[in-house]
Structure 1
């Protein structure tokens, strides 16, 4: 549960933050783990939002503080390559604990991959989310750069990845124009395996690793 940078009213943000805190407080005292909130987010920075970046940054900082207080992982959202470093700097200043669990959502060819490398090194218990958007942009320079980035990180990629759908958005290319069903995870995994190893023989291994990582990150 969290406050997306694109969908909050800056005039009512204090009430929204109070509501979030109240929900987290209630969840914190629930004994059955199946009924608890498992993370804060997705939260972050978005260049397409109507609100100013400084306002988004303020809301992000408050949510990081809540995640720290309630010992919950954070799901990070960042849209706009020029915002990645700003968001990463915010994480470093607000989260000194390098073992803090983080999930940087929706990494693809439009991401600032240099900053993602810094993020993965800074927080060894962090993960990157891969969804259908990794299939977009065939034959572009950015796409090939991203593909090479995945290949170069293949020795440890399975330890740091989480497959996600961003339902109902961002379906894999072969489902473009349709909603993004949960089964799209398989299409994303097949695409990743072929991109990294030029075969689909590692699909099961990648999905299995993702499931393990999800359970570890979210204490499921």
Structure 2
């Protein structure tokens, strides 16, 4: 039996530094490569833990990282300045700012701290030209307000990661020049609204991701996620938009390398 050929893909958002992967990180990266992944971005949740991320990126030539503070931890790193983020992003493997944003579902940090952290990260994205990875959950109106306000101070590249919000935020983001990234949530049975949004957005603004170890796509839902499973999300996105898997992979790759301009694009991707 002939093996199914792999198609080059990118996982634009995973967390390879999380304890879930510590015992078999090499095997997980190997499985991602076998599935066709040519680049992975492991996303920062704490600036204080950047050294650990950098060690991972230095171990794998196809893995890059970001620098930033997750909204859950915003109150713990309010002393991090725009200048700090700019300086740390000078490392050749740091290719994005964040993830930062607003999470009103868990409210693990005071909302004022989350907003302050988000604005700091926006400043760093504006200054460096690196994409801001935005986390937004149950905070659509405040997110739109902050983004629109900050855009008046100077534009910045950004993406709404792991999109699970309403159409209003998606369309506002597109209007501001942002990209939208879809995770395994897109594949869930009850995600019709998310698929409807994904169907309608401009093709040149779409990305795919895993957010591993969270949110494994069907048929792995409920299990630990890993970068190789981004293939499943890309397939559902292709079906949703009525295009071939190969076309969807090419489109999301083009979009990724356009937005993440610091990431070296391999031949054939």
TM range (shorter): 0.7 to 0.9
Residues 110-141 of structure 1 deviation map (CA, whole Å, 9 limit, x = unaligned): x1112211210222xx21111111112x2x4x
Question: Match of 1:42, SS?
Answer: strand
More helix as a share of residues = 1
Cα distance in 2, alignment partners of residues 191 and 26 from structure 1: 36
Cα distance in 2, alignment partners of residues 27 and 2 from structure 1: 10
Q: Would you say the 8 A contact 2:209–2:230 is kept in 1?
A: yes
Give the match for residue 12 of structure 2. none
Cα distance in 2, alignment partners of residues 107 and 149 from structure 1: 10
Q: Would you say the 8 A contact 1:24–1:37 is kept in 2?
A: no
Q: CA deviation at 1:166?
A: 0.4
> Given the alignment of the two structures, is residue 206 of structure 1 paired with residue 217 of structure 2, yes or no?
no
Q: CA deviation at 1:195?
A: 2.6
> Given the alignment of the two structures, is residue 75 of structure 1 paired with residue 133 of structure 2, yes or no?
yes
Q: CA deviation at 1:149?
A: 2.8
Cα distance in 1, alignment partners of residues 169 and 88 from structure 2: 35
Cα distance in 1, alignment partners of residues 129 and 117 from structure 2: 18
> Given the alignment of the two structures, is residue 105 of structure 1 paired with residue 150 of structure 2, yes or no?
no
Q: Would you say the 8 A contact 2:71–2:114 is kept in 1?
A: yes
> What does 1:154-193 correspond to in 2, within 5 Å?
156-157=202-203, 159-193=204-238
Q: CA deviation at 1:36?
A: 4.0
Give the match for residue 215 of structure 1. 257
Cα distance in 2, alignment partners of residues 22 and 145 from structure 1: 39
Larger RCO of the pair (alpha carbons < 8 Å, separation 6+): 2
Q: CA deviation at 1:56?
A: 0.8
Q: Would you say the 8 A contact 1:135–1:173 is kept in 2?
A: yes
Give the match for residue 171 of structure 2. 117
What 5-or-longer segments of structure 2 have no aligned partner?
Answer: 1-66, 264-269
Residues 46-82 of structure 1 deviation map (CA, whole Å, 9 limit, x = unaligned): 01132221221111111111222223210100011xx
Q: CA deviation at 1:27?
A: 3.8
More strand as a share of residues = 2
Q: 1:49 to 1:167 in 2, by over 3 A?
A: same
Give the match for residue 110 of structure 2. 52
Computed over aligned residues only, the root mean square deviation of the Cα atoms, in angstroms, reads 2.1
User: What is the count of residue pairs matched by the alignment?
Assistant: 195
Residues 131-167 of structure 1 deviation map (CA, whole Å, 9 limit, x = unaligned): 111112x2x4xx33333333334xx32x111111101
Query: TM-score of the superposition, structure 2-length normalised?
Result: 0.66
> Given the alignment of the two structures, is residue 90 of structure 1 paired with residue 132 of structure 2, yes or no?
no
Q: CA deviation at 1:171?
A: 0.7
